[in-house]
Structure 1
Amino acid sequence: MTRKVTTKGQVTIPQELREKLGIHPGSTVEFGVEDDVVTLRKAAAGGRGAAIVGRMRGTATSGLTTDQIMRLTRE
């Protein structure tokens, strides 16, 4: 499977491969190079959002249970 590189260095990932790897608009991919071989893979889940949630985890100070918080959001 071959593709041409644009003047901006861009290459379209064939739809068949995007579907197989679960790559959608907004997905993050990782490139690797070993000798003269370039690899592409879907980046591991996480990233900026996961880091933010990780820093916030366990910092709530309200003392409310999850059920109590859910009741408040429904009122």
Structure 2
Amino acid sequence: MATVTAKGQVTIPKSVRDFLGIVPGSEVEFRRAADGTVVLTRADAKRPASRFAKLRGHAGEGLDTDTIMALTRGET
């Protein structure tokens, strides 16, 4: 919940800003959905990385599957 100021401004709650990746300078869009609700979305092309994308990586250059499996089993 947010309170509208005399200037018509509201503060977007931190949890929503964090979820959408909104930082100072981000552009947001307000649009009315078919059911009459108002939806806030990020209007610029930048999208926050998913929690899984942050974990994505690789085991190293040039390692094949057998080597990776041996490493995970502690065989090397």
User: What amino acid sits opposite 2:13 in the alignment?
Assistant: P
Instruction: Tell whether the 8 Å contact from 2:26 to 2:44 is kept in structure 1 after alignment.
Output: no
The whole-number CA distance in structure 1 between the counterparts of 2:12 and 2:27 is: 13
C-alpha distance in 2 between matches for 1:10 and 1:36 = 21
Equivalent residue runs for 1:1-75 within 5 Å: 2-34=1-33, 36-45=36-45
Higher RCO, Cα 8 Å, sep 6+: 2
Q: Would you tell me which structure has more helix in proportion to its own residues?
A: 1
Normalising by the residue count of structure 1, what TM-score does the alignment of the two structures yield? 0.53
Q: Which runs of 5+ in 1 are unaligned?
A: 47-75
> Who wins on radius of gyration, i.e. which is larger?
2
Deviation sequence 1:18-39 (CA, Å, 0-9, x none): 0110000000001101354211
Amino acid at match of 2:20: L
- Rounded to whole Å, the distance in 1 between the matches of 2:20 and 2:26 is 10
% of aligned pairs identical?
A: 53
The alignment yields a C-alpha RMSD, in angstroms, of 1.7
